[in-house]
């Protein structure tokens, strides 16, 4: 029997699951599935998705994708130019986790801002980690597959209305260094939108094509940074990081054939098993007890 099992049976710490991974690896899908199975709730840890609006550009999950699972810190900051700092995240995330635990639920923290996650877990002298058992599930894939996956995602965003959304939010006097306007997908569209807003159609199609390609390049640059940060976190003392290789799943995503079954076998089944073991699913009237 594992140490986590023994500790929980002795009255261990409350459990928190973190779903890590670069953009386009399927963090949201996995987090929602885990929360749905284990009676949990999702706490967003993406510094851009905390802002309201721009659902396509910020890749927020839809109501349908949430499947009834409550989400916290998602689209909760109404002002697009506000600064939602690391300290703000740590305070709000800690409060949300406490509320979820008080209801007997499993907090599932998911998002791409690993600096926020590190600050939450190890900040303030490591107070959070010392008072919680944390499991970190890392969805990772081969770099070239991640590159293709991010390109496919950007193309899908364009189909879902990225250009129209950027046009509606365009402000020629706004700064791209604050708030939601930092999101990849807005700054890259600036030159195209300025030309289009002047009514000058000359060369705009080419400019739009270049903007989309720049979004792909910048998104993959972010992906590489995210992977490197998670790799570093996995070496830190006390970080129980479990890497799940989803290369095969992402490589199959483009054609769509058999993806769901592959995801179930490669990602879902091993993660479900590790999380079930982690939380020690001792039943009480059919409900999983997650608090000691």
CATH for 147-217 (1.10.287.890, 1.10.150.20, 3.40.50.2300, 1.10.3720.10)? 1.10.287.890
When pLDDT is averaged across residues 278-292 and rounded to a whole number, the result is: 50
Name the pTM for this structure: 0.89
pLDDT digit string, tens, across residues 223-251: 999 999 999 999 998 899 999 999 999 99
Q: Residues of CATH 1.10.287.890 domain(s) within the chain? A: 147-217
Q: What is the mean pLDDT of residues 19-29?
A: 96
Instruction: Output the pLDDT for position 249.
Output: 94
5 versus 150: the higher-pLDDT residue is: 150
As given in the structure block, the two tokens for residue 74 are: 């998602």
Binning pLDDT at 50, 70 and 90, where does residue 281 land? very low
Identify the burial level of 205 via C-beta atoms within 10 angstroms of its C-beta, where 0-12 means exposed, 13-18 middle and 19 or more buried: exposed
Residues carrying CATH 3.40.50.300, the chain: 14-143+233-288
Q: What is the mean pLDDT of residues 210-216?
A: 97
CA angle 200–176–209, rounded 5-degree value: 40
Measure the CA–CA gap between 214 and 110, rounded to whole angstroms. Answer: 26
pLDDT of residue 193: 94
3-state helix/strand/coil string of 93-156: HHHHHHHHHHCCCCEEEECCCHHHHHHHHHHHHHHHHHHCEEEEEEEECCHHHHHHHHHHHHHH
**DSSP β-bridge partners for residue 51:** 77
Class level of CATH domain 14-143+233-288: alpha beta
Structure confidence at residue 253 (pLDDT): 74
| Structure confidence at residue 254 (pLDDT) | 60
In this prediction, residue 256 carries a pLDDT of: 64
In tens, the pLDDT along 93-107 reads 999 999 999 999 999
């Amino acid at each position: 029997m594992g140490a986590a099992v023994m500790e929980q049976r002795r009255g261990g710490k409350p459990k928190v699951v973190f779903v890590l991974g670069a953009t386009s690896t399927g963090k949201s899908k996995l987090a929602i599935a885990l929360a749905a199975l284990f009676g949990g709730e999702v706490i967003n840890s993406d510094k851009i998705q905390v802002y309201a609006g721009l659902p396509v550009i910020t890749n927020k999950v839809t109501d349908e994708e949430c499947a009834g699972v409550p989400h916290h810190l998602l689209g909760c900051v109404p002002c697009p130019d506000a600064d939602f700092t690391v300290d703000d995240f740590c305070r709000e995330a800690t409060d949300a986790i406490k509320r979820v635990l008080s209801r007997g639920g499993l907090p599932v923290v998911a998002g791409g801002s690993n600096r926020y996650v590190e600050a939450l877990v190890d900040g303030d002298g490591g107070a959070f980690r010392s008072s919680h058992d944390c499991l970190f599930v890392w969805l990772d894939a081969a770099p070239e597959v991640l590159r293709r996956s991010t390109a496919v995602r950007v193309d899908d965003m364009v189909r879902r209305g990225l250009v129209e959304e950027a046009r509606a939010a365009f402000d020629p006097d706004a700064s791209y260094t604050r708030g939601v306007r930092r999101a990849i997908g807005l700054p890259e569209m600036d030159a195209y939108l300025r030309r289009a807003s002047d009514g000058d159609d000359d060369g705009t199609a080419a400019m739009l094509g270049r903007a989309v390609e720049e979004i792909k390049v910048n998104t993959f640059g972010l992906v590489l940074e995210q992977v490197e940060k998670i790799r570093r976190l996995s070496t830190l003392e006390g970080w129980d990081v479990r890497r799940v290789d989803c290369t095969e799943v992402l490589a199959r995503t483009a054609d769509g054939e058999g993806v769901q079954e592959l995801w179930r076998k490669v990602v879902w089944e091993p993660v479900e098993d590790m999380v079930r073991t982690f939380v020690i699913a001792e039943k009480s009237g059919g409900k999983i007890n997650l608090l000691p």
